[in-house]
Structure 1
């Protein structure tokens, strides 16, 4: 069955989420207190409703319990963000991801049990920094404060070496969980898999270990 997504707050981030889900062919409910925003996204989203996320009755009326994943993306209204996130968790929404405005907001959202706290500006800044510092880094995805997943270009230094020979886990404490080669992806490659120049290595692990691998191993 298709998953059902709900996005609270149709600002720049929330609106982009709605559009991205639609482009991926997913069902998404767009929710905002602003009637003009609801009207705008009624032409884009699967459904769009005007509702107050801090009103438990309103949440029940839109059937929020039937949704698999909810995103809370309010502008500067930190109080509404926290209360909506708390209500969604209390009402049994399986996954609640909320956008944080600052570190204090992040801490509160984590304390009330939000499944993932998103800080788009900080995450994008880190991705840009990693890409700038290392010419081999294509993309950087933060999984938690200490762990990340990074796409790294393989170089001539690694060409023809097997994963066993590279011993990435033993040397750096991170793992090559996939290899993108031309138009295919090798998932969970075995130790006998050889790396070729221009492969894209998908590496996951502690940030410190990944950074050392970027500097020393590639």
Structure 2
């Protein structure tokens, strides 16, 4: 995914907040929408744009230029009816990719039938994440499965990487892995260059195939 992609996240519960802030910290442009003034105020400094409105209002979404966003994530939680309605409207308004959070399998099947591009199950996926973390030989802190083959993952920099530049490590050639951000105690470097040096204690946010991830040094 290029850094020119624009994301909109609708519904700022725990899951929506996590997705929005992770994308923003990885260097993407992110708009969040929620009906709660408090939620919008709380997240305003952590994303590109934060807008308080009722996402079920089709005219308001049109005026907002919602069709200009590449990917919409519908993270509305408890209100299944609103979740489905907003998902349908986003597809009808021309958003290329709509990803919606489902509460259970039945909800997920409805979302698939109305044309949502991808359905995610955060509660189920948390169980998968836990299983991966318990059986993995790497110190993964978190990962997001973006397809059955590829994931974005977060881990402490392996010893072999310390005090070396990304150019010298050449991770894309050696492992098929790309570093999309480096988190240190002082800052987050989004889209680090070849001259970026990895230090002790740094956390790397990387993207690659699940097969290649397992070949990384510990």
- Say if 1:37 and 1:129 are closer, same or farther in 2 by CA, change over 3 A: same
**Among 101, 116, 123, the residue aligned to 1:114:** 116
User: For 1:24 and 1:30, how far apart are their aligned partners in 2?
Assistant: 16
Q: 1:124: how far off?
A: 2.0
Match of 1:184 in 2: 171
Judge conservation of contact 1:34–1:50 (CA < 8 Å) in 2: yes
Match of 1:11 in 2: 13
Query: Please, which runs of 5 or more residues in structure 2 have no aligned partner?
Result: 152-168, 177-207, 213-218
- Residues 140-175 of structure 1 deviation map (CA, whole Å, 9 limit, x = unaligned): 86567xx5558xxxxxxxxxxxxxxxxxxxxxxxxx
Alignment of 1:23 with 2:25, yes or no, is yes
Alignment of 1:55 with 2:57, yes or no, is yes
Match of 1:166 in 2: none
Q: 1:59: how far off?
A: 0.7
- Say if 1:124 and 1:55 are closer, same or farther in 2 by CA, change over 3 A: same
Match of 1:158 in 2: none
Q: Kindly report the root-mean-square deviation, in angstroms, between the aligned alpha carbons of the 2 structures.
A: 3.1
- Say if 1:202 and 1:99 are closer, same or farther in 2 by CA, change over 3 A: closer
User: For 2:86 and 2:175, how far apart are their aligned partners in 1?
Assistant: 38
- When the two structures are superposed, what TM-score results if normalisation uses the length of structure 2? 0.64
- Say if 1:77 and 1:131 are closer, same or farther in 2 by CA, change over 3 A: same
- Residues 17-38 of structure 1 deviation map (CA, whole Å, 9 limit, x = unaligned): 1211221121111100011111
Match of 1:75 in 2: 77
User: For 1:77 and 1:59, how far apart are their aligned partners in 2?
Assistant: 19
Alignment of 1:123 with 2:133, yes or no, is no
Q: 1:43: how far off?
A: 2.1
Judge conservation of contact 2:149–2:210 (CA < 8 Å) in 1: no
- When the two structures are superposed, what TM-score results if normalisation uses the length of structure 1? 0.64
Query: Please, which runs of 5 or more residues in structure 1 have no aligned partner?
Result: 151-181, 189-199, 205-218
User: Which range is displaced more, 3-12 or 41-50?
Assistant: 41-50
Q: 1:56: how far off?
A: 0.7
SS at 2:77 equivalent: coil
Larger Rg: 1
User: For 2:81 and 2:17, how far apart are their aligned partners in 1?
Assistant: 20
Match of 1:203 in 2: 211
- Say if 1:201 and 1:4 are closer, same or farther in 2 by CA, change over 3 A: closer
User: For 1:63 and 1:137, how far apart are their aligned partners in 2?
Assistant: 42
- Say if 1:201 and 1:108 are closer, same or farther in 2 by CA, change over 3 A: closer
Judge conservation of contact 1:130–1:137 (CA < 8 Å) in 2: no
SS at 2:46 equivalent: coil
- Residues 180-213 of structure 1 deviation map (CA, whole Å, 9 limit, x = unaligned): xx7624367xxxxxxxxxxx98429xxxxxxxxx
